[in-house]
A and B are shown apart, each in its own frame.
Chain A
Amino acid sequence: MPLPGDSDYAAAQSAARLLDQATFGTTAKTLVAAMEKSREQWLDEQIALPQTLHLPLLDERLTEIGFEPAPEVEKDDEGWVRDIQRSDIWWESAVWGQDQLRQRVAYALSQILVISNVSDVLYNDSRGIANYHDILAAHAFGNYRDLLKAVTLNPMMGEYLSMVRNEKADAQRNIRPDENYAREVMQLFSIGLVQLNIDGSPVLDNQQQPVPTYGQDDIKNLARVFTGWNHATITQWWEWASSGAAEILPMKAFPAYHDTGSKTLFGDKSIPADLTPEQDIDAALDILFAHSNVAPFICKQLIQRLITSNPSPDYVARVASVFNDNGAGEKGDLKAVIKAIYLDDEAINGPTLAPTTFGKLREPLLKVTGLWRAFKAQGIPVRENNGSLSLNRLRFRGSDREMGQRPYGSFSVFNFYRPDYQQPGEIKNNDLIAPEFQIMTDSQLVSSTSRLSGSIFWRDTKNAWPQSELTNPDNQPKADWDLYPAQLFLEEEKQLANDPSALVERLSLLLLHGTMSTQLRSTIIDFITEYQPYSSAEMRVYDALVLVMASPEYAIQR
């Protein structure tokens, strides 16, 4: 990799910055490859890569540990172990997968179109969650309208927001349709609560108040649209299906339970009577998708997840315009939207345009993947439930406890943090948004820094410790599923250990795209130089790496 002063250093910095924004972390190899390409070439190549599919990998794993991949009758005592396998695959795909851009965008989408197994509703549905992830990733470069329909009919979303088994009103039994999905598909997945301008700013009435996008009548009408759907594998409405193929197949319509009356949305958008359940959903999603809010509402959140918490209104407007028309008259083309997000001048020159505010707090999961990718983390064998020793696994199921975040593990459909969260104090006083600060509790700051430090100081080892043997003589894997998750490869860095300045430059390029401040650099160099006579090459690398990863400079992706 180039060093400061080399003729290609600027190209390396620029490539490393793109990788920071568009992947789960920079590696030396991807950095050198990206230096050869323009941003657009790199994006096009990533978009063309085949998708890493989680579900087939999960089924393989389940078979390996002696489970039937898709049992028709679920076993409660297997649920936890199954979910550990699913979690392993998420981490391994994020850290080892080639289709980095697709998976990073899918991760961003998973924080907009949220499902979570924190609530017991999706307990035992690990295949369903893996499949849901695959759907998000499959549509990451497709059309948002298709994605919205796929999510609407997905049985995991159906269970999570209770559209499954939602039936038309029945006066005899004094019941009416469930409003849950109707409400959240508008509030969170498509148009939001208030009317927006193309630049994402709220439309204000003459009292300077935001104008609501919908009211209770709209919710009641839309709730009727989403009636009559149940699991794909059953033949009678009242049958129960909670596992097997029902987890991964789109829900099935049962017309007798569907409200076939006409419906009206937003006062003047009508859905005629006597449509089939699917036609009704198409008509309703068409109405939502045609709403002018969708482009700014979704695009602003994607920019926040990928690039910066406080995009300028113009940046939002430019991307939203591409959402509305990809240049060929198509609305909702996410491939064009993603390219517009990354090729925008603000994504490229943000640190110069807004040096004190551009960027976002690096969310805890991305800190871990950043470390693991930069230093070629290898998994380690684990003692599986059936007693066998597995191949290498990248296991971190307990990231919520230590890092405050776990994939598909937010506490509610409102994600880990809200897109409009303002941290009290200077951030709020400057009217800035900082979503990721919402989970940055005092405890999380200490525990996540501690976890990264622990990963660095104790995991660069040649001992392939099977974790269960080390920590649990009774061979009960549940207590130690992530104590020793990854083994870092720091050989390149150790070669530089006697040249602290070169070591720090390498870390600066890999982790901070070559922007390390003079003070941070000199503090680290002074410290490891002071202890050079007493320390090993390994320890000097650990020391430098811990201080970079724990620094406020690394905390912010810019």
Chain B
Amino acid sequence: MNTTLNRRHFLQRAATLALGSSSAMATLSRLQLAHAQTARESDYKALVCVFLFGGNDAFNMVVPRSTTEYAAYSATRQSLAVPQNELIPIDGQQNNGAEYGLHPALTDLAQLYSNNKLAILGNVGALIEPTSKIAYQAKTAALPPQLFSHNDQQNFLQSLQSTQKRNGWAGRAADLMHSLNNNPRLSMNISLNGSNLWQAGADVVPYSVNPEGVGTINAMDRKASATENGWEHSRVAAFQAILAQQQNHILARNYAEHMNRAWDLSEEVGDAVSTAAQIQTLFPEDNRLAAGLKMTAKLIAARDSLNVSRQTFFVGMGDFDTHGDQNRRQSLLMSQLNDGLASFYNALEELGIADKVTTFSMSDFGRTLTSNGDGTDHGWGGHHFIIGDAVAGGRIYGTMPDLAIGSNDDMGEGRIIPTTSIDQYAATLSGWFGLPGSAYADVFPNLANFDVTDLGFL
């Protein structure tokens, strides 16, 4: 493609970005570094964020099964505890010798774990700086604002910004990296779940596509020819003229620009997806996560004709806010999670690209270990999965918490204080993705408060 043009765009963007930076030259050299380090033909990588909306009860997803630890877990969880003999055993002791198992619905994910394709990151959550129970109680630790509030915590996890939300860490990373893609029209960041802060940059605006796919506009076929379907051809031209009209109103102007882009891309992306290799792997029906991941797989299959080498995808799944009827509802959720993630992994294997795509989970927060009768409330730390052939799987990373009520990990009602921060989690993922370390300070504002910046799971 036209590399000269891309190069020029790259430098323009660098200049734009530098305006907001303390040191224009520093930013520029970082950008060039990013360019030099990662721009290679056929070098494709994608990060897929699976966001579990509502706050997943990860303490019932990865559960201690050794006697002492299970006893503490079961005493705390009472009627919510997953029976010990139903847990799927997984290898990998923690330092304290505890052993763990997965929720009984996670059969395929347990298999991926034993094949070393899936890693668990224990007790990760929103933190500004390392926080102990003592520091929490003495109010000496800086904390993310509005802990335990759904949308505030979603914002924090996606933006890592503790004050006014501005943009997301994938958005900031893409601001620095998107010139690596030789397609100036399609955003590096693609959402299968509508708008999200994670992928919004200062410069990069995510492209959002519904799982059903990319459609066309009734009675406005852009391929209508002037000679064979002159009427429709003219209608398309009229609508294009209307969209190109000068708009003084900011909202109208943004609508027009967005509509233009969406319409252009619907053709480009639609064509690319329909001509790419068809995926044979079966995805489950009636599973919103699977629908989003299936479309993600189709878009990844179309990467060559879309001419992209770096992509992020945001896929969501809702209903994790299990305040009531948790045992029944979470079993369904775990089963959907298992089926969706496993079929996605299989599809990537089928495409021969499982080593180039890393899928990871995030969620608003973990939940309380204590029960409100038949459910849980909003907690803090939780466990997460990272999946792919590039993952050093079959291990639990981070530090698993003590699940006894009143333990040093418990700030009250079994709200578990995270021992690993999302900044560390994000930096580890982004390092693999190709973001140079020199950009970390901009992308992960709290990372400098933690000793370890690479958690080692990739």
Binding site for B on A (CB under 8 A): 118-121, 161-162, 165-167, 173-180, 183, 187, 193, 209-210, 212, 216, 219, 309, 355-357, 359-361, 401, 404, 411-412, 414, 418, 421, 423-428, 430, 432, 434, 437-447, 449-451, 453-454, 457, 517, 519-520, 523-524, 526-527, 530-531, 534-535, 543, 546-547, 550-553, 555-556, 558
Contact = CB atoms under 8 A, between A and B. Distances in A.
B372 to A, nearest CB: 4
B243 interface: yes
B200 A414 contact: no
A286 B249 CA distance: 42
Contact of B318 (A167, A187, A412, A531): A412
Interface in B355-402: 370-375, 377-378
A219 B234 CA distance: 60
A424 B205 contact: yes
B25 interface: no
B250 A178 contact: no
A120 B319 contact: yes
A196 B214 CA distance: 42
Contacts of A428: 166
Given A193-B146, A356-B250, A556-B251, A178 B377 contact: yes
A443 B318 contact: no
A466 to B, nearest CB: 22
B262 A446 contact: yes
* Interface bin, chain B: 35 or more
Contact of B235 (A216, A527, A552, A556): A527
B148 interface: yes
27 contacts: A119-B319, A121-B324, A161-B323, A175-B371, A176-B370, A179-B323, A183-B149, A183-B378, A212-B145, A355-B248, A357-B250, A359-B251, A401-B210, A424-B204, A441-B195, A442-B261, A443-B214, A445-B258, A446-B262, A446-B266, A450-B216, A454-B218, A520-B242, A524-B238, A550-B242, A555-B255, A556-B249
Nearest to A557: B251
A449 to B, nearest CB: 5
Nearest to A118: B318
Contacts of B329: 120
Contact of A453 (B213, B220, B372): B220
A121 B209 CA distance: 27
A447 B259 CA distance: 11
For the complex of A and B, list the 6 residue pairs with the smallest distance between their C-beta atoms, beginning with the closest. A441-B208, A178-B372, A442-B262, A443-B210, A162-B324, A162-B323
A175 B259 CA distance: 51
A438 B195 contact: yes
A339 B148 CA distance: 37
A54 to B, nearest CB: 26
A302 B292 CA distance: 33
B370 A556 contact: no
B418 interface: no
A307 to B, nearest CB: 13
B454 to A, nearest CB: 29
A427 B252 CA distance: 11
Given A411-B318, A426-B253, A519-B245, A179 B78 contact: no
A558 B248 CA distance: 13
B252 A552 contact: yes
A176 B372 contact: yes
A147 B248 CA distance: 40
Nearest to A411: B318
Interface of B: 53-54, 75-76, 78-79, 145-152, 163, 166-167, 171, 191, 194-195, 200-201, 204-210, 212-220, 231, 234-235, 237-239, 241-243, 245-256, 258-259, 261-263, 265-266, 318-319, 321, 323-325, 329, 370-375, 377-378, 405, 412-413
A164 to B, nearest CB: 8
Contacts of B247: 552-553
Nearest to A164: B324
A165 B54 CA distance: 21
Contacts of A556: 249, 251-252, 255
Contact of A356 (B76, B249, B374): B249
Given A439-B194, A446-B214, A450-B215, A173 B78 contact: yes
A450 B218 contact: yes
Contacts of B321: 180, 412
Contacts of B373: 165-167, 175, 178
A442 B207 contact: yes
A178 B436 CA distance: 45
Contacts of A523: 238, 241-242, 245
B303 to A, nearest CB: 18
Contacts of A438: 194-195
Given A355-B249, A556-B249, A437 B151 contact: no
Contacts of A534: 231
Contacts, number: 232
Contact of A442 (B150, B167, B208): B208
Contacts of B258: 440, 442, 445
A357 B370 CA distance: 48
Nearest to B370: A176
Nearest to B316: A411
Given A183-B149, A361-B251, 18 more contacts: A121-B324, A162-B324, A166-B373, A175-B371, A175-B373, A212-B146, A357-B249, A439-B194, A440-B195, A445-B263, A447-B215, A450-B218, A453-B218, A453-B220, A531-B231, A546-B235, A551-B242, A552-B253
A527 B238 contact: yes
Contacts of B145: 210, 212
A299 to B, nearest CB: 21
Nearest to B369: A174
A332 B340 CA distance: 47
A178 B242 contact: no
A120 to B, nearest CB: 7
B406 to A, nearest CB: 12
Given A216-B412, A442-B262, A443-B262, A424 B171 contact: yes
A216 to B, nearest CB: 7
A440 B206 CA distance: 12
B302 to A, nearest CB: 15
Contacts of B76: 174
A183 B54 CA distance: 14
A201 to B, nearest CB: 13
Contacts of A520: 242, 245
B250 A430 contact: yes
Contacts of B220: 449-450, 453
A546 B261 CA distance: 19
Contacts of B324: 121, 162, 165, 178, 180
B371 A309 contact: no
B251 to A, nearest CB: 5
Contact of B231 (A219, A444, A517, A535): A535
Given A426-B250, A535-B231, A444 B210 contact: yes
Given A162-B323, A359-B251, A439-B194, A552 B243 contact: yes
A446 B217 contact: yes
Nearest to B150: A414
Contacts of B377: 178-180
Nearest to B261: A442
B262 A119 contact: no
